[in-house]
Structure 1
Amino acid sequence: MKVAKAEEGDLSSLYDLEYRAKEDDAWYSVYVVLDAAAQTMRVKYMCYPKVYEDVFSAGGLETEAQLAQLVRRFRPVSRQLQDHQCRQLAVGTTVCAAHATADNDLRFYDAVVEAVNRQAHSFPDGEEECLCTFLLSWEHGPGCGTLTFVNIGSICIVEPVFEVDHRISAFAILAKEKITSSKSISILDSHASASKGHQEMETGMVLKSLPWKSEDSEMISNYKQCKSQDEDIGPEPCSIDGLPTAGEHHFILIHNLEKDLTPSSIKKFIYKQTTVLPQAFIFPRVLSDPYARGAIVVDCRKKVQTIYEFLDNPNHLIVSSKGRPWVITGKASEGAFGTAIWNLIPMTPDDTKNKTTEEELEIVHSGTETYKRAKQLRDLFMEFIHHESQVCKKLVQEEKRIWESFQPA
């Protein structure tokens, strides 16, 4: 991907990761070589006409923020979309697409599909050819914030990150040990500690929630002996005090879900967006309910902070493929839903794979027509919840009044 020609010897299979380069902010297919003895990591770019490389030293990263940022710059190689797969490009889908630079070179950047102009496909020589065009809003790079029409040949599908590559995770452990060692030598003054507190809290969440592979278990064991990432450091930008808890578990309650949504889809979607892998539950419902209710559950305050900040972001809404917006109410509702949450016991992860996450859930961004519609639907649902709550309170008051009227004087 992203190259006109692989290096000599056809070693393209070695280039199994994508790296977002700091120099131009573009994504490149790379081959990563970890030298544990030298505590370095080489990142070799698949470029034409020659191979470029960056070398990172475990001792060259000064803060956890720098380490977390580096880890985020790697992901699985994006998959080139084929002509017959164009239906996968729904509005709101994040893709990796080619963008022309000032010197007429093509480089790859992330973008969001804002609109799709569907056209009937042609079949020259018996092979399907997609004639649709896609309006992209660029997320970074030279076109950041602008809109561009492209065809399917310029688009790749971003693969979800379910586990960090073992080379990246091993290097992160080495770098983390260096950073921790450096911190034990130098003592920061109180003002510097206060200003960096929130940043360390966020990056600690990223490092702690990395989905390490099993072959790194020995190194991970050493890594977990470092300073606990569960300490509360600095102020929290988004209050989670109203969220329900049960023992060590924190709950985010979600209303207005599609009735056929699976816990597996919720987990994969949240992990893809936040790098935190939660547990997820769908609550029982009556047949007459037009929607379902569920919960996202984690065992760490910082993890729930990360997820809640994503869900509570005013710049976007989460909707189903049918346009139904998620509604996050914060606190448990009265009645059966509020009671059921306390009886939940963490279960084995649900591996249902009957649908892909991209087919079921998407993010719609502020300023788009889909966002405006989703916001209207969400506001309508919030009005319904408020009305339901008032009716429930009135029911309780009337029941109390009736009971009291039959009590002996």
Structure 2
Amino acid sequence: MGTASFERDRHDVDIGGVPYVVMVENLEKGISPFTIMEFIHQQVSISCQVLVSPSLSREAYSRATITVSSKRNLDKLSEFLENPNHSIISSGGRPWVLTEKWPAHDIPLASIQALMAHYQTMLQSRETETSNELKVVLSGTEEYNTAMLLKDLFWEFINHQARLHQRLRAEEAKIAQLFDAEEM
């Protein structure tokens, strides 16, 4: 193994083997984890594990948790997802919205690596054709402009929800104080 290969391999794995998690929201309902994994692999050449969370019937979208095994892969994925020169949209025009990313200290790296190895094998055994369920739209196009308006609307919705959650916590605290006062 050459020195350059050793250096690349050494920098690809974080000390302590901490996986990283990215939360993406505003996905089409019914999107499969494999579609997302295949799309990411085609676009940024990294392996990942994807969990699409079930959404409530009243919700118009789904969310996914994407896990990668290194900081380097997190950086590549984040750069792709947050690039202002393009947007990722579904075939129905729903833009992806990256809402959170964090190191996943409580997930054993061996579990992540085993799942990623399994999915990597699946990726290599399938033909690599671009999924028609997801696409990258470039800045300056009508699809991109529509996606940006929809992303702004989604962020407005998320911020409104956050304010409602704060209000709920405050109201719960008031009710708890009322009952604490009555018990004294």
Common fold: TM-score over 0.5: yes
Cα distance per residue 1:153-183 (max 9 Å; x no partner) = xxxxxxxxxxxxxxxxxxxx6xxx1xx2xx8
C-alpha distance in 1, partners of 2:74/2:93? 25
Cα distance per residue 1:338-391 (max 9 Å; x no partner) = xxxx789644539598xx642100011111111110100110001000000110
Which residue identity lines up with residue 300 of structure 1 in the other structure? S
1:267 alignment partner in structure 2? 37
Quick check: 1:392 aligned with 2:162? no
Which residue identity lines up with residue 40 of structure 2 in the other structure? I
C-alpha distance in 1, partners of 2:90/2:57? 20
1:7-26 equivalences in 2 (<5 Å): none
1:232-251 equivalences in 2 (<5 Å): 248-251=18-21
C-alpha distance in 1, partners of 2:93/2:87? 10
CA change 1:403–1:267 in 2 (3 A) is same
Which residue identity lines up with residue 276 of structure 1 in the other structure? I
Identity of aligned residues (%): 36
Q: What stretches of structure 2 of length at least 5 have no aligned partner?
A: none
C-alpha distance in 2, partners of 1:275/1:298? 12
C-alpha distance in 2, partners of 1:268/1:224? 27
Kept after mapping to 2: 8 A contact 1:265/1:357: no
CA change 1:227–1:297 in 2 (3 A) is closer
Which residue identity lines up with residue 387 of structure 1 in the other structure? H
1:331 deviation in Å?
Answer: 4.8
2:92 alignment partner in structure 1? 322
Q: Specify which of 199, 221, 228 is matched with residue 10 of structure 2.
A: 228
1:380 alignment partner in structure 2? 153
C-alpha distance in 2, partners of 1:257/1:226? 34
Kept after mapping to 2: 8 A contact 1:252/1:296: yes
SS at match of 1:296: strand
C-alpha distance in 2, partners of 1:271/1:250? 16
2:53 alignment partner in structure 1? 283
Quick check: 1:367 aligned with 2:149? no
C-alpha distance in 2, partners of 1:326/1:282? 13
Structure 1 vs Structure 2 CA RMSD: 2.8
SS at match of 1:349: helix
Highest Rg: 1 or 2? 1
1:295 deviation in Å?
Answer: 1.3
SS at match of 1:265: helix
Compare the two structures and name the one with the higher helix fraction: 2
1:397 deviation in Å?
Answer: 0.8
C-alpha distance in 2, partners of 1:330/1:372? 23
SS at match of 2:119: coil
Q: What stretches of structure 1 of length at least 5 have no aligned partner?
A: 1-172, 184-222, 233-246, 333-341
CA change 1:403–1:299 in 2 (3 A) is same
| TM-score where L is the length of structure 2 | 0.79
C-alpha distance in 1, partners of 2:8/2:26? 41
1:229 deviation in Å?
Answer: 2.2
CA change 1:273–1:399 in 2 (3 A) is same
Kept after mapping to 1: 8 A contact 2:88/2:136: yes
| TM-score where L is the length of structure 1 | 0.37
C-alpha distance in 1, partners of 2:51/2:174? 37
Kept after mapping to 1: 8 A contact 2:53/2:64: yes
CA change 1:404–1:326 in 2 (3 A) is same
C-alpha distance in 2, partners of 1:249/1:227? 16
| Residues matched between the structures, number | 166
C-alpha distance in 2, partners of 1:225/1:365? 34
1:271 deviation in Å?
Answer: 1.1
C-alpha distance in 1, partners of 2:9/2:63? 37
Structure 1 moving runs of 4+ over 6 Å: 342-345
SS at match of 1:405: helix
